[in-house]
Structure 1
Amino acid sequence: MPEDVLSQAEIDKLLSAISTGVVSADEVKAEEQKKVKLYDFKRPDKFSKDQIRTLFMIHENFARLLNTYLSTNLRVLAKVEVASVDQLTYEEFIRSLPNPSVISVLSLSSLQGNIIFEMDTNIVFAIIDRLFGGLGDEGKMKSRTLTDIEETVIKRMTNKIMEHFSDAWHDVVEFDPRIESMEANPQFTQIVSSGDMVVIITLQVKIGNVEGLINICIPYIVIEPIVPKLTTTFWVSALSSRKEHPEELDILKKKLRRAKLPVNVELGRVSITVNEFLSLGLGDILRLDSKVEDDLTVIVGERPKFYCRPGTLGKKAAVQITKVIENEEEEQMDG
C-alpha cells in the first residue's frame, strides 16, 4: 500500500485520538503543512547546507589571514570576520551593490570563469589613507570613484590579498587569482547571466574606527567541478593530511633559514640629558659604561642573544662569540 494512503485501522485510530482529545485537528493540519516545503524554481538552491558550512569554514581561515595581513601592513588594529555565506541570483547581488563601488573581476588559473571581489568604499579609502601616511579617519571618507594612482595602489593590495585567498582554498583546490579588470559601476560588471546562482561570502571588516563589508561573489558554474569536495569531511581530512606531510615542514624550515635578521654589536651605553645632547659637537667624547676588557653584547633583531669580543678578520672588523645569553639573562637585560 502506498505510504500516503492510510489503512482503515489507521483512520480509525486517528479519529479516536481526535475524539478523545489526545490529538487536535489543528495539530494534524499543522503536521501536514510541515511536510510542504516551498520551492522557487526561479532560484534553485545549488549548494547544500554542508557545502555552505564548508565555504564558511574556508573563508573563516581566509578572514584570519586577511586580519593579520591588514594589521601588519596598515600598522593599525584590524578585525575581519565572516558575516554570512548566502546563495542568490547574480542579478540580486549586483542590485545590492552601491554605485560607485570598488569591484575587482578576477580569473582563476585552474577554474573556468571569473569571480568578483568587492570592497566597501569606506574600507578602500581607509586603506589608501593609511598607506599614504594618514590616520584613516572615518570623517574624511567620501564615496567616489578611484583616481588612477589610487586604483593602482588598490590593485597591488588586492593581488596580495588574493595570495591569502588562494592559501585558504589550498586544501580544496589550487588556483592563482589574477585581476582582469576593476569597475566602479556594478551594472558594467557581467560575469554570468542574471539568473545564474552565485554564492556570496560577506566579510565584516573594521580598520581602526572604520567599518565596512567585503563581498566575494563566486558563481556556481565556476566551482561546479569541485563542488563534491566542498564537504566538511573532505576539508577536515585534507587539513589533517596536510599536517602529516613532513615535506611541508621542511619547506617552512628552509624558508626560515633564508630569512634575513639584523645583527648589531653594542659597544656600550651612556645616559645624558637633552640639554647635553643638544650641545654635542664635533670632537666631543662620550664615556660609555663598558670597559675595554668587557665582553660586548650581540643583538639579533631587537633581542640580546650573545656575548662577544671585538677583533678583526683580514681587513674587516669582526667579533668572536664567547657566550650565549640565556633567557633569564635576556630578561634582566631587557628590564
Structure 2
Amino acid sequence: MMTSPATIRPKALATWLLIVAAMVVLMVSVGGITRLTESGLSITQWKPITGAIPPLSQADWQAEFELYKQTGEYLNVTGPAGMDLAAFKFIFFWEWFHRLLGRLIGLAFAVPLAWFWAKQAIPQGYKPRLLALLALGGLQGVFGWFMVRSGLAGTMTDVSHFWLSIHLLTALVTLAGLVWTALDLRELARGNAKAARWTATASWVGAILFVQLLLGAWVAGLNAGLASDTWPLMQGRVVPEFDGSRGLFYAMAHDPFLVHFLHRWWAWVAVAALVVMARKLKPIDRRASVAIHSAFGTQIVLGIATVMTGVALWIAVSHQVVGALLVASFAWGAHVLGRRTA
C-alpha cells in the first residue's frame, strides 16, 4: 500500500531517531564505565528477558556471586584481591545497568517503529533503512554476549579485545546511521526529497577515523592505556619497547605498548583528515564544521589527560563519550557534503 502525503511524518521520525541516537551515546558512556570498573564479567549468563530483573534476595545475590567465583577473573584477579559480596554488587550493577539500557534502546526503537509503520507514517524508501538499523541494534546485543563469553572461557581474566572492538564499533556505526537517516528525514520535512549521497571525502576520512576508533577499542580491551602515563614520550622514547617476537603485524594487534603508540599517533592523521573535511564544510554549513573541530579538539585534550592521569575513570569515560560525539559530528558533516552532491 502506498503511503499518502497526508500520513507521512518525517519530522516526527527524525526527532525519534535523534532521541535514540542520544540513548546510544549514553550507552557508550555506561559501557565505558563497565569496562573501566572491570564489571563486564560479573553477569555470567545471557537472559534477554528475565535478566532485566536484578537479584532480589540475599540468596539470589549469593547465587550470582558463586557463578562469578568460577570465572578466571575472580580466580586470578579479584578473588585474590579480597573481593566480597558488597564489591561484587557494585560491579554487577554496572553490567546489569548496561544490559538494561540496551533493552530500553531496543524498545525505544522497535515500539515507535511499529507504531509509525501501522500509521503509514514512514516515507517511501525508508522502511528498509529503519529495519537495517533495527537489525544493527539486535546484532549489538548478540556481539555484546559474544564479548562477555570470550572472557568466561578457561582462565581468561578479560574479554577479547577483538570482540570488544566489534561490540563498540557496531554501536558507533549504528549511531552514525541514526544521525544520517534523521538528517535525511529532516530535509524531507523541508521539502527536499533527494537523500544525501555518500561522497569520496566521507569515504577516506571515515576510513581513517574508523582505524582510530578500532585502535581505541583495542587500547581499552588490552588495558593499553596503562602502558604509559607520560606524553608525548613513552618510556622516555618516541617509539616504546614492545614484543615483536611473533612479527610486527601480530604485535600491532596484540602488544599493549605498540597498540597504545599507534592509537596515540594515528590520532594526528585523523585530525588532519577531519580538518580537511571541516574546511570543505565551512562555506556550506559552518555549524557542522564547528561541531567537528570542537569534537576532535576536546577528544585530543581528553586523550592526553587520560594518559597523564593513569586512566582516571571519569576522564577516560569522557574520552569515550566524546569519541561517540565525534562520530555523530562526522555523520553530520558527511551528510552535509552528500546533500550538496545530491
Give the TM-score normalised by the residue count of structure 1.
Answer: 0.22
- The structure where helix makes up a greater share of residues is 2
Give the TM-score normalised by the residue count of structure 2.
Answer: 0.22
- The structure where strand makes up a greater share of residues is 1
More relative contact order, 1 or 2 (CA 8 Å, 6+ apart): 2
Structure of larger gyration radius: 1
